Structure 1
Amino acid sequence: MPDDPAYEVLVALRRIIRAIDIQSKRMSKICGLTTPQVVILQAIRDLGEVTTKQISDHVTLSQATVTTIMDRLEQHDLVERYRSVKDRRVVHTRLTTIGRQVLKKAPPLLHESFIDSFSCMGHSDQEKIVETLRQVAEMLGGGNLDAAPILDIQPPDAVG
């Protein structure tokens, strides 16, 4: 069975899943957050005082998902939300001092190191990988699933 290409693909997929799981557990152990929570905190840090829509667009997660995650972050005093002085209908979010401190402790995200390595590859190799992974996703029934470019085991909707 080890010489079977299908077996080798399944082993490679399992290794990817394990690497993501290990990173997720490491993130939780080091800073007490999930990967999507760290991604949201980073977006707020990078964008400044922003709306949920701006965060949602930046991290490619739905506004509902971002709101759920921010509710949890706010409960832990990592972010604060406040109404705009100019337009009371608009709610902005900013990092708290605690949020900035926790974010400094967070290890690098797995997808960031992947992007660094992937960008060093030749364009034709990148295209081959993209096409092959699309085919694998299709074979596994995930070809049409909505997914953010975040490597995490838990679906972001389950995180709060």
Structure 2
Amino acid sequence: MTSTPTADWLRLDQQICFSLNAASRAFGGVYRVVLKDLGLTYPQYLVMLVLWEQGDLPVKKLGEHLRLDSGTLSPLLKRLEAAGLVRRERNARDERSVEVRLTEEGAALRERALQVPRRIAAATGFDVDEIRELRARLDELTSALDSAAVEGAGG
């Protein structure tokens, strides 16, 4: 922003946060359409992605993967459980810990979900290399912002 005149810094079209939010909302619209056949919302899809990749997990670990607190994650899990896709069970060794497990139906849904990333990639109009590059840059941005938040917003 150093080449942008100071007077323009407060213009909406100069805000990276607005561009990211607009892109996120646009993604949400595409995901809503693509995930409809699976009967999942976007946040539920993210939960399923982690469970398909990691297997059974304590709620706490699942929340760490998704960057969600238990207050946000619990209603998602409750709906997924009601849909028959996951089970929540208290850990026999530690009653305070709740494990999330895929049901047979939840595991089987993975096959139907395989088309989702391809459809989303096609919707972006980007090729695979552009998507990888964008994801890497966004990961760098997230890391920098996480650090800045810990350090007091970098300024």
Instruction: Give the TM-score category using the shorter length.
Output: 0.5 to 0.7
Q: Look up the match of 2:54.
A: 47
1:23 paired with 2:30, answer: yes
1:117 paired with 2:124, answer: no
Secondary structure, in 3 states, of the residue corresponding to 1:87? coil
Q: Distance in 2 between matches of 1:7 and 1:88?
A: 49
Shift of 1:68: 1.0
Q: Distance in 2 between matches of 1:93 and 1:120?
A: 33
Shift of 1:65: 1.0
| Identity, % of aligned positions | 26
Shift of 1:7: 10
For structure 1, which segment, 22-31 or 33-42, has the greater mean C-alpha deviation from structure 2 after superposition? 22-31
- Which of the two has greater helix per residue? 2
Unmatched tracts of structure 2, length 5 or more: 1-10, 146-152
Aligned partner (choices 106, 111, 126) of residue 99 of structure 1: 106
Is the 2:52–2:110 Cα contact (8 Å) retained in structure 1? no
The amino acid of 1:117's aligned partner reads E
The alignment covers a number of residue pairs equal to 122
Unmatched tracts of structure 1, length 5 or more: 1-5, 135-143, 145-160
Give the TM-score, by structure 2 length. 0.60
Post-superposition CA distance 1:88-118 (Å, at most 9, x none): 232111101111122322212859x889635
Is the 1:49–1:92 Cα contact (8 Å) retained in structure 2? yes
Higher relative contact order (CA 8 A, sep 6+): 1
Q: Distance in 2 between matches of 1:21 and 1:88?
A: 36
